[in-house]
Amino acid sequence: MRFYTKTHKHYCGIDLHAKKMFVCILNTDGVVLLHRNIATSPEDFLKVITPFREDLLVGVECMFAWYWLADLCSQDVIEFVLGHALYMKAVHGGKVKNDKIDSHKIAGLLRGGMFPLAYVYPPEMRATRDLLRRRCFMVRRRADLLAHVHNTAIQYNLPEICGRISKENNRNGIDELFPDPEVRKIVQLDLAMIDAYDNVVGVLERKLETTARRHDWHTLLLLRSIHGIGRILALVLLYEIHDINRFESVQDFASYCRLVKCSHESAGKKKGTGGAKIGNAYLKWAFSEAAVSFLRHNSSGKQLVEKLAKKHGKGKALSILAHKLARAIYYMLKNSTPFNLEKFMATA
């Protein structure tokens, strides 16, 4: 956990919502200079902070609508920090909770040097990252439709559908396997939606790859040098990591990727683990997929996992491999060197 510890003359805490935002401004002595509920608009925000623009720090809890505020502060050269929502327990732990109290607490955390920081993703690549996340959402919905076709066949005790229906050529005539006209219509709807997703996702993937080459072609090539990482996983890693230098150590990077368990201890006694949802879920997915893909046509990788599985079990062995791949990628990007399979296997 990182805290913002720099001192300023004015501290502005904002409880941000889609249509309204409660603004609280404190001075260095903790005196409330302004406490007001305003419309969520750049004009109103700049108007209320005008008397306090000198050495002003703006802080807001991370939620879906922070993009415009971060960009506005960047354009007007106002210091802006983003608060990690899961770490800001002071906002959610009070007996009474409302927007006015929350904004004052956020300002107080800024002033006291206890404001937990989240990463403010720069706008240059942010929209492309969100577009890539949208692609992942659509692919999962497509997978749900494919599973529903198979489940419908099982539901009516029909012969198992042969072939991978994720391939367009293997979907011809599948609806004719269902004798009931209403059930056949359900399957036809599923297949039509799968075809639509195929068209949209195909165009989107080509667009994303073209944009990624313009953003950071060198890093994309480094990621593609890893055995088993194709163009989609490389894109996810590129945009979710963004800048490897924002992680001070490889341990910080592995923790951000949700690849380590965080122990809870008190009075020398272990109380289990926690923090499973703190970190980047997309990187967790990407490294889990990369660990499985790494084993394809890779005899040395399979031997490593088999050795780990004898001690930890297969599931834990794949998690360890994902962790090792994350560590390798950290040093690859730090040193700007391609993946070396022999060196990786020797150290693993």
- Between vectors from CA 96 to CA 94 and to CA 100, what angle results, nearest 5°? 100
Per-residue model confidence (pLDDT) at position 269? 86
Per-residue model confidence (pLDDT) at position 264? 84
Residue 91, classified by CB atoms within 10 Å of its CB into exposed (0-12), middle (13-18) or buried (19+), is: buried
Mean pLDDT, the chain, integer = 94
Q: What is the pLDDT of residues 305-327, one digit of tens each?
A: 999 999 999 999 999 999 999 99
- 160 confidence band (pLDDT: 50, 70, 90): confident
Q: What is the pLDDT of residues 164-184, one digit of tens each?
A: 899 988 898 899 999 999 999
Given the candidates 3.40.47.10, 3.30.420.40, 3.40.1080.20, 3.30.300.30, the CATH classification of the domain at 3-118 is: 3.30.420.40
Per-residue model confidence (pLDDT) at position 275? 78
Per-residue model confidence (pLDDT) at position 279? 93
Per-residue model confidence (pLDDT) at position 326? 97
- 74 confidence band (pLDDT: 50, 70, 90): very high
Q: Which whole-number Å values give the CA distances from 338 to 41, 210, 221, 224, 334, in the listed order?
A: 46, 21, 8, 9, 11
Q: What is the pLDDT of residues 223-273, one digit of tens each?
A: 999 999 999 999 999 999 999 999 999 999 999 999 998 888 888 888 888
Per-residue model confidence (pLDDT) at position 14? 97
Question: Among all chains, which residue has been given the structure tokens 């529903």?
Answer: 148
DSSP H stretches of helix in 225-298 = 231-241, 250-256, 281-294
Residue 203, classified by CB atoms within 10 Å of its CB into exposed (0-12), middle (13-18) or buried (19+), is: exposed
Distance CA 312, CA 319 (A): 10
Contact 229, 223 (CB under 8 A): yes
0.85 surpassed by pTM: yes
Backbone angles phi, psi at 34, to 5 degrees: -155, 135
Lowest mean pLDDT among 28-42, 113-127, 162-176: 162-176
Distance CA 92, CA 96 (A): 9
Q: Which two tokens stand for residue 319?
A: 């998690």
Distance CA 88, CA 109 (A): 9
Map residue 16 onto helix, strand or coil: strand
Q: Which two tokens stand for residue 290?
A: 């990369």
Per-residue model confidence (pLDDT) at position 250? 96
Per-residue model confidence (pLDDT) at position 207? 96
Map residue 28 onto helix, strand or coil: coil
Q: If you average pLDDT over residues 66-81, what whole number do you get?
A: 97
Q: In the chain, where are the structural domains located?
A: 3-118, 125-224, 247-347
Per-residue model confidence (pLDDT) at position 271? 82
Per-residue model confidence (pLDDT) at position 148? 96
